[in-house]
């Protein structure tokens, strides 16, 4: 265990950057995750994380900054999932499986073609928020604010489509556009979360806070608020614990999420 007090943590610039980026990304994941879970689209985050693996491998292969390459490719992947669902007339989970398989296969092939970037790719697979750079913090803040702004702009359309898509369509809401917006925002959020918990654990940030909040919340607004609170707590406690005990931050963040979920589940069962 590192011999250091809690308050002295904030004298380290890398801890401040980790908290700042983690706070914005966790709020974004928690908010978006509520819509995904309620619409039974939570697996899209897992599928797009697999697409990001191939995109990151491509970025490292061509010598470009991986997250910049991943962003447009994962967005394309999210759009492909929608189109396959529409055109091939298959269920959403099947189209997610197809697109994610392409991402994983591409990543494996690119990794085998060049052994020089395997270590770098490994850091993206498991995340390392404590090593986040200033440029990556700015990247996270800008994209987080963009996603949250779009969610706020389309809030009522998303709300209506989430609870009754057919009725929303009869009221004049462009449900197809809303579906595209939701999947594109999910793609952006997945790329945002890679540096926090890595490709392997991205879906946890999108799913677990929302599911935890649903155990104790009594309305949609409460669900959003509780989801954000649990997400922020998990990120902050995960970063602190990881630093003090020298263990992976991404894994600790996810474990705190699971702890909050189990606690909420127990509280619900005791009511």
Residue 234 lies in a domain: yes
Q: Look at residue 117 and tell me whether its pLDDT is greater than 60.
A: no
Q: In which domain, by residue range, is 114 found?
A: 7-266
Query: Given this model, what pLDDT does residue 225 score?
Result: 95
Residue 213 lies in a domain: yes
Q: Is 88 exposed, middle or buried (0-12, 13-18, 19+ CB in 10 A)?
A: exposed
Residue 2 lies in a domain: no
Select the more confidently predicted residue: 100 or 31: 31
Residue 172 lies in a domain: yes
Residue 1 lies in a domain: no
Per-residue pLDDT reduced to its tens digit, 191-219: 888 878 888 788 888 999 999 999 999 89
Minimum mean pLDDT range among 94-103, 184-193, 205-214? 94-103
Residue 125 lies in a domain: yes
Given pLDDT bands bounded at 50, 70 and 90, which one contains residue 222?
very high
Give dist(CA 226, CA 74) in Å, integer: 28
Give dist(CA 71, CA 196) in Å, integer: 15
Give dist(CA 190, CA 212) in Å, integer: 20
196 backbone dihedrals φ, ψ, rounded to 5°: -80, -55
Query: Given this model, what pLDDT does residue 168 score?
Result: 86
Cβ(215)–Cβ(222) under 8 Å? no
Given pLDDT bands bounded at 50, 70 and 90, which one contains residue 231?
very high
Residue 242 lies in a domain: yes
Residue 241 lies in a domain: yes
pTM, two decimal places: 0.88
Domain total in the chain: 1
CATH number, domain containing residue 243:
1.10.3470.10
DSSP letters spanning the chain? -----SGGGGG-HHHHHHHHHHHHHHHHHHHHHHHHHHTT-THHHHHHHHHHHHHHHHHHHHTS-HHHHHHHHHHHHHHHHHHHHHHTT--HHHHHHHHHHHHHHHHHHHHHH-STTHHHHHHHHH--GGG--HHHHHHHHHHHHHHHHHHHHTHHHHHHHHH-HHHHHHTT--HHHHHHHHHHHHHHHHHHHHHHH-GGGHHHHHHHHHHHHHHH-SSHHHHHHHHHHHHHHHHHHHHHHHHHHT--HHHHHHHHHHHHHHHHHHHHHH-
């Amino acid at each position: 265990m590192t011999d250091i007090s809690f308050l002295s943590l904030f004298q380290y610039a890398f801890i401040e950057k980790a908290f700042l980026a983690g706070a914005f990304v966790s709020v974004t994941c928690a908010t978006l995750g509520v819509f995904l879970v309620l619409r039974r689209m939570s697996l899209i985050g897992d599928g797009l994380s697999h697409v990001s693996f191939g995109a990151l491998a491509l970025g490292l292969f061509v010598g470009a900054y991986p997250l910049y390459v991943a962003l447009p490719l994962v967005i394309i992947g999210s759009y492909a999932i929608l189109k396959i669902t529409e055109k091939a007339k298959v269920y959403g989970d099947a189209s997610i499986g197809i697109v994610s398989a392409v991402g994983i296969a591409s990543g494996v092939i690119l990794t085998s073609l060049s052994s020089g970037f395997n270590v770098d790719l490994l850091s993206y697979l498991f995340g390392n928020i404590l090593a986040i750079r200033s440029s990556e913090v700015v990247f996270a803040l800008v994209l987080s604010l963009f996603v949250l702004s779009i969610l706020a702009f389309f809030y009522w359309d998303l709300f209506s489509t989430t609870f009754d898509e057919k009725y929303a369509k009869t009221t004049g809401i462009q449900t197809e556009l809303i579906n595209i917006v939701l999947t594109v925002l999910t793609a952006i959020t997945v790329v945002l979360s890679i540096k926090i918990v890595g490709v392997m654990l991205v879906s946890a940030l999108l799913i677990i806070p929302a599911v935890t909040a649903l155990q104790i919340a009594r309305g949609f607004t409460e669900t959003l608020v509780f989801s954000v609170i649990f997400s922020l707590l998990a990120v902050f406690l995960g970063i602190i614990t990881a630093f003090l005990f020298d263990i992976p931050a991404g894994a600790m963040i996810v474990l705190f999420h699971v702890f909050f979920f189990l606690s909420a589940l127990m509280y619900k069962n005791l009511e």
